[in-house]
Structure 1
């Protein structure tokens, strides 16, 4: 999307004076280009930052808001909640609206000990004990490894630091996928989760209708030819695209592209915050992760990554085909939300998943919501976040 926005910018500015045109920018928000620790402290909250090393050697950055702006309500431990971001995002996505509209801040003010991780390969978790980011082997991962290694390492860190044996899990988009894989395959980890909250859940990926779909129709060779075989960073054109979205005239173009990407619900996004959103996303991920998501789309099955041959699959799984993930094995109490205007994770796909969730405690379809409304929607605090907090209190 960023490349298309940049091309559009160049075409427009080819007929107009570029300097004069970009002088029409709105005043930038202070949080533009801030890291998450800076965003937390800028908003007046306590901030802690940790590194955790996974079993397979990746070094992940994890952030914590131990309590709200008014201080710790009591000397005792507070209930813990962990938030897992989406594909091409980082943990700042939970904090990019104002404090009264961002889930991370609202949870802290509601009395929760808030933890937010960064998946391997994104801007803040691009380190390894022995591997360099220039090596192919560094990028040989998908959401399989994020579920198998990243999430357990982060949960262990949280348990060790807080002394709390159980916590709540909230995921958005691919963050929900990580949770579903982990909780259905690792019973010991699942026992540590009080409740699983899935926002725009990605399991079935048969019916997407956004522009992402056309990308998945391309052969792997072309996709790799465009983005390479290692990491997918999508930084090209990010700053010009940000200029378009923050321009007093061109912001409409940005709004249209966001609708093509995630679905139509323009009135529910604070366009004055677009520069904050776009300065933090997209971050990076691996080509293997992208191809794994493509496999979900093409195969219509929720399986581990297909390494491309029976021999490779035998090496990794001791079977010729990647194993299926059985969601019926997940016993964690779960609540899910879907958007009726979500073109990335459509309700048709979510409806296929619902019967597989054996311990589904709550489901809500928001008819007018798109895929980004779960983190950026102006009415998210009233329509979703308040319900999350109410459910957390009932499952304390």
Structure 2
């Protein structure tokens, strides 16, 4: 997204969501995808790819709590459907959390030992229970996880999504999210009491202190999101000390990945992001309001 002959004085970092990659941001095409809109608006756009056990907005919150000096390095953060508190998740993630709670860490070995699912799908009984689309889309573990494989996209876009997702992640990443859904806390990875003592010097994993996140934030959410639910968004809002904007997408069936892929995302999400970024980059102050 970088024109090497052009000088930029403002930059935007875009991080993909769960089971995604930087490609996800580009699938809407040059006229609608957020990276292209930002580039046309004069921003130097950087697309990140995650490795390890953090995703998207989660990664930013973890960074700012564990290395709070970055609150003074960045000027603002925009969180699209942030995953932190996940106790009220719906769909397969809720089932996995309940199963984990009853049977423990090793009960999720079917998710993979290293790479999550490794191009496989969820067990048939999980697919049948949550599938809201056709067989092919429901066999895509990411689509089943976020909205039951509902075919809400344009046919050509749906084909592109199926060809590019899931992008792969570690099984540990998904197990960490399952742990968050099980406990209701935004905390570090739980290795079990004995291993936690070796890792954290404590039998329980440390909880991320969101009061350390002083960076000005804008938060976007949707009532139809299976993963970043209304109840969990209500939990995180009062814990973040500098939320300048909370924008709720007012559209039916606007799910977790619709923030990136929906044909309506330019009108419902991106058209709100661009003015926010322009306001903060044109101002000498940090934050979305002067």
TM-score (norm 2): 0.82
Counterpart pick for 1:387 among 253, 272, 278 = 272
**Could you list the runs of 5+ residues in structure 1 that have no partner in the other structure?**
1-64, 121-140, 144-173, 239-250
Q: CA RMSD in A?
A: 2.5
1:208 maps to 2:93: no
- Give the superposition deviation at 1:317: 1.6
1:315 maps to 2:170: no
- Give the superposition deviation at 1:269: 2.2
Cα distance in structure 2, aligned partners of 1:374 and 1:344: 13
Cα distance in structure 2, aligned partners of 1:380 and 1:318: 45
Query: Which residue in 2 is equivalent to 1:274?
Result: 158
**Could you list the runs of 5+ residues in structure 2 that have no partner in the other structure?**
123-132, 282-290
Counterpart pick for 2:63 among 148, 161, 182 = 182
Q: 1:265 to 1:280 in 2, by over 3 A?
A: closer
Aligned partners of 1:204 and 1:350 also within 8 Å? yes
Secondary structure (helix, strand or coil) at the match of 1:101 reads coil
Secondary structure (helix, strand or coil) at the match of 2:182 reads helix
- 1:1-396 pair list within 5 angstroms: 65-67=1-3, 75-120=6-51, 141-143=52-54, 174-218=55-99, 219=103, 220-224=105-109, 226-236=110-120, 252-253=134-135, 261-263=145-147, 269-309=153-193, 311-367=194-250, 368=252, 369-396=254-281
- Greater length-normalized contact order (CA 8 Å, ≥ 6 residues apart): 2
Q: Deviations over 1:225-271 (max 9, x none)?
A: x2332221441379xxxxxxxxxxxx755567888643489686223
Cα distance in structure 2, aligned partners of 1:234 and 1:353: 32
How many residues align? The count is 263
Cα distance in structure 2, aligned partners of 1:394 and 1:333: 13
- Give the superposition deviation at 1:204: 0.9
TM-score (norm 1): 0.61
Aligned partners of 1:231 and 1:285 also within 8 Å? yes
Q: Which has the higher strand share?
A: 1
Cα distance in structure 2, aligned partners of 1:115 and 1:190: 19
